[in-house]
Structure 1
Amino acid sequence: MPDAILHIGFNKCGSTALQQWLSAQEDALLAQGIWYRRMDPRTDVVCTNPHLQVLAFTLADQPVPSRPMNAVLGIPEGDRVAQDAVAHAFREQFEAQVANGGFKTWVGSSEALVSRFMTPEAISALADWLSGLFGNVRYVAYVRRPETWLVSLFGHQLRKTASPEDLTAFVDRFGPAPFARLLDMWRTAVGQEALDVRLFEESWLGGGGLVRDFQTVLDLPAGTLPTRSKRVNTTFRNRMNPWSRAPKRPVLSAQTRDMIAQSNAEGMGWIESTFFADRQTEFRSWAAGSETRC
């Protein structure tokens, strides 16, 4: 049986860069025995494989609550017949491709799998399905520091909606970053050893960059494939006004920093003790320090 590596990509954590690189290197990866194929009906974004979320909920006998994904795949809200048809068609095609072989490792990437809509039942159902198709299944997630993640998310929303909301109000409304809650659901479903949590920061990444680090995940020797591809975050791009596309990264006030630190203390503590118990000093230095863009 082939193995599998599934990148469960938190938004604003380099998912677009990885997906663009994987798409650009699809043929070169296959020559190395690694099968990756972009699976998304949209042409204006690179976030791939929304089908996996639909299949997860269908396998768990639950309706998909994510309206954006339903719209992308043509599923009317609450229409289980349409949902099941999309899931069945994807599952049939995917399982046939796995059965045909020709590769050692399948690589997938989907931001939909760590959306706020995911449930423990859907995650467990998807993990059980993948375990039946592949020998060894590994799950990879990159995590950012909450304050830099929230600033990035706020800038993204500002460009998308031109909202008058300020950063402090956004942080107060948003609450803690979802990393710990969602990682706990995945850890419970797939087991501690199968979940590889990596920090989105230069000094933590193998080889000094996000794509290069993911190449180490794929067990590709250095220099096997180029590490750069065109990096453009296309999410919502066609819906933005030209004036709104420029980066907007507001400066955090001391009050807002404290608010973020307090609301995320429990979650960050759990991530540290669960995944970085052997590197606590380094983790705490990363959590308290400034982040290098990768």
Structure 2
Amino acid sequence: MAKLFLHIGFAKTGTTSIQNDMVKNFDALLEQGILYPSDPRAPFMHKVQHLPLVAAIPNHTVHNLPPEKKATLDRAYNSLHSHLSKYSFNTLVLSSEFFGSPQLGVKELQWIKDQFKDFEICVIAYIRRQDQHFLSGYQENIKNGRQEPLDMGAYVTSPVLKFGARLEPWREVFGDEKVIVRPFSPKNWPDGELFLDFLEVIGGSADGLALSKPRNEGLDYRVVDIFRRLNAKKPSQGISAFRAWWKPSYFPSTLAKQKMQLSYETVEEMRDYFLPDNERALRSTDISAGDFFPAVNKDQQELIAPSSPDQDLLLHIISKLADEKRNRKPRKIAKKVSQNGLLWKILKRGK
């Protein structure tokens, strides 16, 4: 019986990077007997992931699909099985962080299981310590236009961060021994590489495979604050493009990058709050809740937002935009800023 590894995320754990590497190494993996279906035109595929397979679950709605994919959801599973018949393999891998949605319960998961009766199914879930997950989610929301400052207590009401509870229906349907839980932590990965860890789980070899550079790496906390201040002023299309055109190379090499972090006191509160649920999440592993979410240095200070935007940083970013010779729009923005200080005024007044 062929084995199916169903990679369910969770979100903020490098899922897109894994998917990109699976697609990038399609031929080399198939030589090992590992198939990652990756035809972007197929009804079961959206970009590099299998999101339509989640959207096709009865009475479950997913809003992240283009109209042309929504129109073919009734063929998602049939097209997948037809696609599989073209290949010889012993291991199938399907991946979408939307499989890990808290809205999916036992009934929906049993339906998924029934679609793959000819496979031995194993579920893979990566979990990330809650303080990092919390800040990463906030930063993603800022990139998408959020304008409110971080609510430090919002983690208490977030079901997304309770991994033990989220894993429970999967364990009920597929069995404890079939749900593989891995920490999103480089210290637990071979050579500190996430994809190598994933390959180890699915029984693959890295020989002859190419690894992609990490995607969606965290921004400096001051840059996050600049974006939020822009969002708060409901900027014009041109100012919105300022966020869209951001590149890591725009950050000055002379300035030490500092990712967002919570204070020692807040981290300790979160560790205590999530301890029972983390023990529940990790019960089928050899990793303790204390190792998964360790204590931080008592001197750790909060890095969420400066009291006012960093003017030198802002001017450096504007100059980088102005240097973009292949795109006239950033230069126009920079020219407008240099003439009347519009962007600086927006940032200065942003709350």
For Structure 1 versus Structure 2, the TM-score category normalised by the shorter chain is 0.7 to 0.9
**Alpha-carbon contact 1:9-1:111 (below 8 Å) kept:** yes
SS at match of 1:288: coil
TM-score normalized with structure 1 length = 0.77
**Alpha-carbon contact 1:147-1:257 (below 8 Å) kept:** yes
SS at match of 1:213: helix
CA deviations 1:203-257 (Å, max 9, x no partner) are 212343111111212322343423x2144349xxxxx743375788433134432
SS at match of 1:193: helix
SS at match of 2:85: helix
AA in 1 matched with 2:135: V
Distance in 2 (alpha carbons) for counterparts of 1:270 and 1:219? 26
The aligned counterpart of 1:90 is 76
Larger Rg over CA atoms: 2
**Alpha-carbon contact 2:271-2:293 (below 8 Å) kept:** no
Greater RCO (Cα-Cα under 8 Å, separation 6 or more):
1
AA in 1 matched with 2:114: D
Within the candidate set 119, 124, 141, 1:157 is matched to 141
**Alpha-carbon contact 1:40-1:49 (below 8 Å) kept:** no
TM-score normalized with structure 2 length = 0.66
Aligned pair 1:212/2:196, yes or no? yes
Aligned pair 1:265/2:282, yes or no? no
Distance in 2 (alpha carbons) for counterparts of 1:202 and 1:74? 35
**Alpha-carbon contact 2:55-2:62 (below 8 Å) kept:** no
Within the candidate set 149, 171, 178, 1:187 is matched to 171
AA in 2 matched with 1:256: T
**Alpha-carbon contact 2:164-2:279 (below 8 Å) kept:** no
**Alpha-carbon contact 2:162-2:274 (below 8 Å) kept:** no
CA deviations 1:122-159 (Å, max 9, x no partner) are 111102322x132x221111111111111111111112
Distance in 2 (alpha carbons) for counterparts of 1:117 and 1:171? 18
Distance 1:207 1:72, change over 3 A: farther
Distance in 2 (alpha carbons) for counterparts of 1:18 and 1:242? 28
Distance in 1 (alpha carbons) for counterparts of 2:130 and 2:159? 10
Distance in 1 (alpha carbons) for counterparts of 2:185 and 2:270? 19
The aligned counterpart of 1:79 is none
**Alpha-carbon contact 1:65-1:117 (below 8 Å) kept:** no
Aligned pair 1:140/2:150, yes or no? no
Within the candidate set 41, 53, 61, 1:65 is matched to 61
Distance 1:221 1:86, change over 3 A: closer
CA deviations 1:177-228 (Å, max 9, x no partner) are 03112211111110011111111112212343111111212322343423x2
Distance in 1 (alpha carbons) for counterparts of 2:127 and 2:19? 16
Distance 1:103 1:47, change over 3 A: closer
The aligned counterpart of 2:49 is 48
AA in 2 matched with 1:232: R
Aligned pairs for 1:62-141 within 5 A: 63-69=59-65, 75=70, 86-87=73-74, 89-130=75-116, 132-134=117-119, 136-141=120-125
Distance in 1 (alpha carbons) for counterparts of 2:160 and 2:8? 19
May I ask how many residue pairs the two structures share in their alignment?
261
Q: CA RMSD in A?
A: 2.9
Aligned pair 1:198/2:182, yes or no? yes
AA in 2 matched with 1:51: P
Within the candidate set 257, 266, 272, 1:256 is matched to 266
Distance in 2 (alpha carbons) for counterparts of 1:259 and 1:158? 24
Distance in 2 (alpha carbons) for counterparts of 1:19 and 1:160? 22
Distance 1:187 1:17, change over 3 A: same
The aligned counterpart of 2:9 is 9
AA in 2 matched with 1:111: E
Query: Structure 1: any 5+ residue segments left out of the alignment?
Result: 76-81, 235-239
**Alpha-carbon contact 1:13-1:143 (below 8 Å) kept:** yes
**Alpha-carbon contact 1:20-1:46 (below 8 Å) kept:** no
AA in 1 matched with 2:29: L
The aligned counterpart of 2:212 is 229
AA in 1 matched with 2:138: F
SS at match of 1:158: helix
The aligned counterpart of 1:24 is 24
